[in-house]
Chain A
Amino acid sequence: MTGTLYIWLIPLLPFAGFLLNGILGTRLPKWLVTTVALVAPLASFALVLNAARSIFGIGPAFDSLPYIETCPHPWISIGALHIDFSFVLDQLSLVMLLVITGVGFLIHIYSVGYMGHEEGYARYFSFLNLFLFFMTLLVLAGNALLMFVGWEGVGLASYLLIGFYFKKDSAANAGKKAFIVNRIGDFGFLIGIFLLLTNFGTLTFSEIAAKLTANPAWQGGVLTTIALCLLLGATGKSAQLPLYIWLPDAMEGPTPVSALIHAATMVTAGVYMIARTHVLFDHAPFALDTVAVIGAATALFAATIGLVQNDIKRVLAYSTISQLGYMFLGCGVAAYSAAIFHLVTHAFFKALLFLAAGSVIHAIGGEQDLRKMGGLWRKLPITFWTMTTAVLAIAGFFPFAGFFSKDAILYAAYLQGPAGRALWFVGLVTALLTSFYMFRLWYLTFLGKSRSPEVHPHESPWSMLGPLVILALLSIGGGWIGAGAGLGRFGSYLSLSTGARAAESTNPHLELILSIAAVAVAFAGWFIADLLYRQKPAEPAQLAEALPEAYKLLANKYYVDEFYGATVVKPLLGFSKYVLGWVVDFGILGGLAWLLGGIAMLAGAILQRWQSGNLRSYAAWLAAGAAAVLLFMLLPWPWTSPWPISVQFIWKVMGR
């Protein structure tokens, strides 16, 4: 590998696109906006491919990585603290970059078709480019602070895009909710950064890792605290319990945004962050267990909610939360490669699911309610077939992409002793639920009879179908990169930067049995969905009536939003309104301002009497003043001198 790879241009090109479209977008012709918006991610993708080519070109010796590019001018340099703009390309960030720029570019193309008739076309694309800038920055960052910049930036881009239809109240509120909930997580991340700085004296990931590797005995303690703080950040960004609540509402944004930001890339930032700081987590077993438990709990929790949702995008949102739970589970059992592998395949099939859902919504005129769809497979054949591959992939059927990655995580969990088997079982139940609700969505959308005969669906334009087809191919074949024992080539490649797990005796028979169990569960889910939504369409309603309490609990999403509203939002709002608003703002600050103003007004009221406009009264005051000065000069001031000032002055002049 010789010469430079220009990886600093990977984030910067989308940023240029953002500036260009953001500032001039409304004045440029539409084709130029489209060109700028597409060229920026395409060029980034090309640079990533070039980097990948030159890295793979040198054969299996991946250990010449990480490859680092640093801005010659330091960013922050205070005393011993030294932070650079350093971009690090290693196995992990290269995989992430391929996914982000690749899937990102596809979604940009899709957006051209999807957003073609929308108001704010240039605004949309400038935000999308901004997102790519921050996301690639996050992934390439060589230290925690630069990562935090990207971390905050993707939050901003997410906020802007969720609230893209800002004239709608629900969209504006959803944007705010996402931003505020993310702030809670960011707080944790920030505390984690501070703790890293005080305990390690550096924020560079490689130096932290080196210090930890040099001290294998350093376990737990402050490391656990740091890891838990980072985990809080990760749960916010990656929509895990207890901070997942913003993601379902984020579906208010345009569908391609849901696909790119709220399914394929941004929400996986938490998983990436844990994988990036995995050395820390490896030294903090308690934090690692917490990650696993949160992941498994979130996976199951979100999947159960997904069972009864009727909005097509919300089903997908809960499924995203659930799949992110799998990734956390993978991280939590220290199978970082498996988690990243699932991240990659999930990016393929979940982006595909969202884009296909967008194609459906686009086709039937903005309707998102599953109960009003049905029988669309004849009208939208390409959307139907691509969606089918995605459903098969997420349900975990062999040989689709989801099978390999989900299996790797479950297998890794199973190997972790009795507690690991419990996690594995939760994962398996989640797989059953996943398969069920995905096929439910599939049946309700595409099969059966149309429930809204008045709409005339039309297949989407090729700018939308092209990305669908490419992603479908990736969803079918993408899993093979990680096939084989220990994730095959992918595992051995990625383990160089995520670390190989403590050597477990890989047991091919056990893995085969677990795989068969997983596929059997996926078939069971399909079978139940088939039974309920194809053979006996009346059954689901009866089931809901038979179990009213359970159904209400799920349909209302376990009342978590209500719970947070009552315990956090309401007290905070009340505190803000009454204590901060009335007492502090109106009472103290306002009172102070009124007091100062009152003094000035009172003084003015008194002094304005002098401003009578009567020339002679002015003259009289003048004369009185002159007389006063004269008296002051001529009268003696016994407490200073027996002589008047005028006399003293004359003495002084005469040199006495």
Chain B
Amino acid sequence: MNLFTQGVPISWYLLLSAVLFSLGVLGFLIKRNLITVFMSIELMLNAVNLSFVTFAHQWHAVKGQIFVFFVMMVAAAEAAVGLAIIIAVFRARATLAVDRIDLMKL
């Protein structure tokens, strides 16, 4: 298979997207630092973006590409709010370990 003549097969993109998403989930689950957790969320979002773009290319539909812009926009807004919350939490608790931010339990 010649990558330079035939292009990358579509399944590779999807596989990459799945791997990135899984890494994001894994990071989200096992990292303790709030900022890392946050970055993992971004990773998952972008993995999804990748598969959107892939399918848009596959089906020759522009909808998927437009959707990516929406996701990026929401991710930007979410990043702003999320970082603000993280700063506020850090000021209040002097820690970013997610295991210790558990005041809302019964």
Contact = CB atoms under 8 A, between A and B. Distances in A.
Contacts of B29: 616, 619-620, 623
A614 B25 contact: no
B104 interface: yes
Contacts of A505: none
Given A620-B29, A623-B25, A623-B29, A615 B106 contact: no
Interface stretch (B60-68, B75-83, B94-102): B94-102
Nearest to A604: B106
A619 B102 contact: no
A612 B102 contact: yes
Contacts of B104: 611, 613
Nearest to A620: B29
Contacts of A620: 29
A630 to B, nearest CB: 11
Contacts of A615: 37, 98-99, 101-102
Pick the most buried of A612, A615, A620: most chain B CB atoms within 10 A of its CB: A615
A616 B99 CA distance: 7
A608 interface: yes
B102 A614 contact: yes
B46 to A, nearest CB: 17
B106 to A, nearest CB: 5
A623 B24 CA distance: 11
A611 B99 CA distance: 14
A608 B102 contact: no
B105 interface: yes
Interface in A619-633: 619-620, 623
Interface in B34-80: 37
B28 A614 contact: no
Contacts of B106: 608, 611, 613
Contacts of A616: 28-30, 98-99
B103 interface: yes
A527 B103 CA distance: 96
Contacts of B99: 614-616
B105 A613 contact: yes
B98 to A, nearest CB: 5
Interface string A599-617: 0000000001001111110
Given A619-B28, A619-B29, A613 B103 contact: yes
A637 to B, nearest CB: 23
Given A619-B29, A620-B29, A623-B29, A612 B98 contact: no
Contacts of B30: 616
11 contacts: A611-B106, A612-B105, A613-B104, A613-B105, A613-B106, A614-B98, A615-B37, A615-B99, A615-B101, A616-B30, A623-B25
Interface of B: 25, 28-30, 37, 98-99, 101-106
Given A611-B105, A615-B99, 13 more contacts: A608-B106, A612-B105, A613-B102, A613-B104, A613-B105, A614-B98, A614-B99, A614-B102, A615-B98, A616-B30, A616-B99, A619-B28, A623-B29
Please name the 6 residue pairs, one residue from A and one from B, whose CB atoms are nearest each other, closest first.
A613-B105, A613-B102, A615-B98, A613-B104, A612-B105, A608-B106
